[in-house]
A = this chain, B = another copy of it.
Amino acid sequence: MARTCRAAIVPEPGAPLEIRDVEIPELVSGSALMKVANAGVCGTDVHLWHGRLAGVPYPLILGHEVVGTIESVKPGGIQDLDGNEIQEGDRVAFHDVVDTCYSCWYCLVAKAPTKCPNRFVYGITLDSTKWPFLIGGYSEYMYLKPRTQIMKIPDHVSFDDAIFAGCALPTAVHAVTRSPIRWGSSVAVQGAGPVGLMLVILAKINGARTITAIDQAPDRLKMAKTLGATHTLNIQETSLEERSDFLRDISEGHGPDIVYEATGNALAVPEGIELVREGGTYTICGQYTDSGTVEVNPHYMNRKHLDIRTVWGSETTHVYQALRTIGDNCDRFAFKDLVTHKFSLADAQSALEVQQKQESIKAVIQPNE
């Protein structure tokens, strides 16, 4: 008789989550079974729940930011990027994107593997009705397919710290990889949600001189300050002109060298173009869902002599570096304090609602608690 475990399932777009029993498949060579410790609740999960993304198969098991413990693995089967064998009992994170082919034009010629058409994402585009079924983190167990990049969590890093290696920090790592922060530079970050806060941390680690977080939620701005932001700007309390003036005042009149966008709000983009200094770099990594069009002035953009970069998805290296960054810096930055809400599997529905209302910074589901 097949073993099963419980998972929270979105039966169809917009419908309430249901807790169902799902079959745990036998392991094949190179695969592993993970007991889920924390499944992060991502803003994208809310969009998925409402069916706002194309190409997503329902019924769906949500959860692409996941950490846990290896329950079983065939011996000698899996090595991590550092050449260590993944073993039972290992506490692990993994790259939620799987099946990047490294055989196509985007992977090998354009060197843009996040645009590979063959990739799938756990908890988003993998189909829970097909083998290996347990493809999302809102579940007691996840089945990690062959070629999933599994990474060991260092002993001194808690699951609450490590959850940020699941999505928020890799996104920020990718953004900073595309637009590196020179030490001593002025940085502004639009949005102080999980991605924005990770950008604040990376700006701090990279020796930025000023780091200004911009948001409307006082608690998020306060957290940004705790994590190293030198200044904060509340968009409810200031005008664009005031923000622009402020940012110039703290950078010898120039404005920030780099502005990162991590808001998910289309209106942030014309503001970012306005805020960044002449000859500066504007990096957009938060526009993951369509929030409509905005007006920009091409002449103004041209005159400013800008680099504007948009950043899609994450590569394995970004997850690898994210986990190392947490391991190297969790004494300095209290990642785990950003986990403001915890839910059982049965309360997964509530977790989505809390996330939707933006009451949490990071909510997690703990299916085995």
Residue A222 at the B interface, CB < 8 A? no
One of B102, B149, B182, B287 near A298 (C-beta < 8 A):
B287
The closest CB in chain B to the CB of A204 belongs to B207
Indicate which residue in B105, B149, B266 contacts A103 across the interface (CB closer than 8 Å): B149
Which residues of B sit under 8 angstroms from A297, Cβ to Cβ? 266, 290, 292-294
**Which residues of the other chain, B, contact A114 by a CB distance below 8 angstroms?**
305
Tell me whether A302 and B295 are in contact (CB under 8 A).
no
Cross-interface CB contact of A279 among B115, B183, B299, B328, cutoff 8 Å: B115
CB pair B105 A81 closer than 8 Å:
yes
- Chain B residues with Cβ below 8 Å from A299 are 266, 287-291
Do A310 and B306 form a contact, CB below 8 Å, given A82-B105, A112-B278, A287-B301?
Answer: yes
Contact of A312 among B115, B303, B328 (CB under 8 A): B303
A-B pairs, 5 with minimum CB distance = A287-B302, A112-B279, A102-B102, A305-B312, A308-B308
A147 an interface residue at 8 Å Cβ cutoff? yes
Contacts of A296 in B (CB 8 A): 269, 293-294, 296
Tell whether, in the assembled complex, residue A105 and residue B254 are in contact, meaning their CB atoms are under 8 Å apart.
yes
Asked whether any CB of chain B lies closer than 8 Å to the CB of A235, the reply is no
Interface size on A, residues (CB 8 A): 77
Bound-state CA distance A140–B325 (Å) is 50
Bound complex: CA of A108 vs CA of B82, how far in Å?
A: 11
Residues of chain B within 8 A of A115, CB atoms compared = 278-279, 305
Determine whether A317 belongs to the interface, using a CB cutoff of 8 Å to chain B: yes
Shortest C-beta distance, A180 to chain B (Å), equals 7
Task: Please list the residues of chain A having a beta carbon within 8 angstroms of any beta carbon in chain B.
Answer: 79, 81-83, 100, 102-112, 114-115, 147, 149, 180, 182-184, 202, 205-207, 209, 252-254, 261, 266, 268-269, 277-279, 284-313, 315-317, 320-321, 324-325, 328
For this complex, 19 residue pairs linking A to B, each with C-beta atoms less than 8 Å apart, are A82-B253, A106-B278, A108-B317, A109-B321, A110-B278, A112-B278, A114-B305, A115-B278, A183-B202, A266-B298, A285-B302, A288-B302, A290-B299, A290-B300, A293-B295, A293-B297, A302-B311, A304-B312, A307-B307
Instruction: Please tell me if the beta carbons of B205 and A207 are within 8 angstroms of each other in the complex.
Output: yes
Residues in B with CB closer than 8 Å to A278 are 106, 110, 112, 115
Q: Which of these, B180, B253, B309, contacts A308 with CB under 8 Å?
A: B309
Q: Which residues of B contact A79 (CB under 8 A)?
A: 103
* A232→B197 CA distance, assembly (Å): 34
Instruction: Select A310's contact among B108, B291, B304, beta carbons within 8 Å.
Output: B304
Shortest Cβ distance from residue A236 to the other chain B in the assembled complex, whole angstroms: 21
Among candidates B106, B110, B209, B285, residue contacting A328 with C-beta atoms closer than 8 Å: B209
Inter-chain CA distance A184–B103, complex, in Å, is: 20
| Whole-angstrom CA separation of A299 from B291 in the bound complex | 7
Cα A254 to Cα B202 with chains together (Å): 24
In the bound complex, residues from chain B placing their C-beta under 8 Å from that of A291 are 298-299
Q: A108-B320, A184-B328, A291-B299 are in contact. Are A206 and B209 (CB under 8 A)?
A: no
Give bound CA distance, A13 to B363, whole Å. 62
Contact call B302/A184, Cβ cutoff below 8 A = no
Cβ distance A68 to chain B, nearest Cβ, rounded Å: 21
Report the minimum CB–CB distance from A135 to chain B (whole Å): 20
Across the interface, do B315 and A108 meet the contact criterion of CB distance under 8 Å?
yes
Q: How far is the CB of A230 from chain B (nearest CB, A)?
A: 11
Are A305 and B311 in contact (CB-based, < 8 A)? yes
